[in-house]
Structure 1
Amino acid sequence: MKYYVSVLAGAMSYGILSTIVVLAYGEGYKLGEVVGTQLITGFILSWMLALYTRFNIKRKQNNAGKSPIAPAHVFQKLTWKQRLMLMAAGTPTVITGLVYYQSLRYIPASLAIILLFQFTWISVLIQAVSKRQRPNKVTLFTLVILFGGTLLAAGFLEQGLAEFNGLGIALGLMAAVSYSLFVLFSGKAVPSAHPAFRSAWMVTGGLVLLCILFPPTFLFNGLIWSQLLVFGLLLGFFGAFIPPVLFAIGVPHIGGDMAGILGAVELPVAVLLSAIVLHEHVSVLQWFGVIVVLLGVALPELHKLRVKRTSPSYS
């Protein structure tokens, strides 16, 4: 149960980000500054956790006379090949942040999160292609439900596509693809390593890529000591630190499919905050669409449980 709660809490943390980013844009900060402070904060917090974990392990080893007091992977020393693999697995978080946060300049936060949430069916599609397996009828039915729910939740049926910025919609969908890759890779990259070290190296990889794309000039011109620091701390904690750590703990144990389903909680959290904090209009029909999307995400897992319970071997 703790692994399910871990992934659930990580997804809820992601749901908070769009509101914080819109508030940061309102103060005049730029994309590179917002994402940069987020990742630097996440980098510091992640390595503090990793170093504390290493210290704690060594202390327990000394006290217990090196007795087996924890799973074997806790004591594993990562090779540079494994570290590079984890760093590469962390790069989708940067791509997701950049395109998702940029989309918020063109479309409402409530719409941006709905587009990002398309990672649910994109993840299914990626896994089907990688495994060379045609989706079954339940999966195809689920995709139809998700598509219909998205049209309702995004407000396309009420306002029409002409009312929305095409670039913003494209960026939101690009973020969904990148987020799908992160969810899948986070569970497959060196799963035997301790979650604290996995998360720290993944955040490190993301920070290296970001510094190449957007040199962190805000660290030297004094801008970091403005209100940007507050936004960076919030984004770093809820975006670059909490989700990777919790996903690193939970995804290897529950699988990418279930992680995608639990990630559904990100959608209502983000839409609710957009309505309350940013005062964005979310109609009753859009909320109905959100519910339809959530039901569509849960449908495959509910089908699996039904098949398992009706199976002759289930007793």
Structure 2
Amino acid sequence: MKAWHYAITVFLGGCCYGALSTFVKLAYSAGYSVTEVTGGQYLFGALLAWGLVLFTKRQKLTANQTFKLLFSGIPFGLTGVFYYQALQTLNASLAIIFLFQFVWIGTLVEWILYKKKPATGKVISIAILLVGSVLAASVVSDGGIALSWQGTVWALLSAFTFTTFIFLSSSVGKDTPPMLKSALLSTGGLIVVCFVFPPTFLFDLPVLMGVAPYGFLLGLFGVVLPPLFFSIGMPHIGPGLGTILASSELPVAVSMSSLILSEYVSLSQWIGVVLIIGGIVAGNIMHQRVLPQDHGG
């Protein structure tokens, strides 16, 4: 695979996350709680991931390798937990802005850990993404901003855990088949979610059957596919560019809310979407110029 192929897989992983907010809203409108929706997402996601593992090439892992991948799934699960906690006291627009800070946090951590000072082009790309995120999330057009320190802390924690997950995706289990890696990461996330949100709905058959369709969609787009795509692409492009590409989440979220939920999207929001896409393209172009071509193809 060429370098841009890996970039596309990470971009698609971000797109999958963008689809989640629409499915969550549909589940909430059907009367299901945060516990049922979150638990269903990770439960059905983990089951689906392990089901797909049966159709892929097997590879035996040591106990240490298995533990590392399960452990790496912890920030994956915590991101969802923290973000849902933030939504209890912050409106969705502000919460997603705080979560979106993973774009610059990833570059900063890469600079600190790997001594990779961000190029001017990458800094400009990040600035474009942040401006676009503010417009796309309609913070400006919505008028007043109501901050809650509890919600702010939870949302920023979700940004840090999401950044951590992206870094672990690029460094842990590089030689593990992507599908098996995705299954183990999702299992680690499921363990955390079940600890925070005990899955009592499992013992209520009507609720379990009702939440199943939403759990399947949320599990597919929020638990199975993102770790799979990140496992394929992140080790080859690095977490710095990875966080920029994963910002595709917000344009997809805005587009789906308009197309599927028929929610009003203002002109400023569409401008924000265009800016984010432009920032992603600019970041990838600068990356291609700075780094040599991938030798994988």
Q: 1:93 aligns with which of 70, 76, 98?
A: 76
Deviations 1:33-85 (A, max 9, x none): 1111111111111112223324xx5xxxxxxxxxxxxxxxxx4x211111111
**What is the aligned-residue identity percentage?**
39
Matched to 2:109, the amino acid is: I
Flag structure 1 segments of 5+ consecutive residues without an equivalent. 58-74, 310-315
Deviations 1:248-283 (A, max 9, x none): 222223332333333232221111112233343321
Q: Hey, what does 1:21 align to over in structure 2? A: 24
In the TM superposition, what is the alpha-carbon distance from 1:133 to its structure 2 partner? 5.2
In the TM superposition, what is the alpha-carbon distance from 1:111 to its structure 2 partner? 5.5
Structure whose CA Rg is larger: 1
Q: Hey, what does 1:141 align to over in structure 2? A: 124
Distance 1:5 1:133 in 2: 22
Q: In the alignment, does 2:259 pair up with 1:250? A: no
Q: In the alignment, does 2:108 pair up with 1:125? A: yes
Counterpart contact for 1:18–1:109, Cα < 8 Å: no
CA RMSD of aligned residues (A): 2.7
Return closer, same or farther for 1:154/1:161 CA change in 2, 3 Å cut-off. Answer: farther
Moved more, 189-198 or 112-121: 112-121
Deviations 1:174-203 (A, max 9, x none): 322221111111121121111122112111
Distance 1:236 1:51 in 2: 17
Q: Hey, what does 2:271 align to over in structure 1? A: 288
Return closer, same or farther for 1:111/1:287 CA change in 2, 3 Å cut-off. Answer: farther
Counterpart contact for 1:103–1:172, Cα < 8 Å: yes
SS in 1 for 2:140: helix
**TM-score normalised by L of structure 2:** 0.84
Q: In the alignment, does 2:24 pair up with 1:9? A: no
Flag structure 2 segments of 5+ consecutive residues without an equivalent. 293-297
Q: Hey, what does 1:67 align to over in structure 2? A: none
Q: In the alignment, does 2:252 pair up with 1:269? A: yes
Counterpart contact for 2:178–2:232, Cα < 8 Å: yes
Return closer, same or farther for 1:163/1:286 CA change in 2, 3 Å cut-off. Answer: farther
Matched to 2:82, the amino acid is: V
Q: Hey, what does 1:181 align to over in structure 2? A: 164
Counterpart contact for 1:184–1:256, Cα < 8 Å: yes
Distance 2:158 2:215 in 1: 20
Matched to 1:22, the amino acid is: K
Matched to 2:20, the amino acid is: L
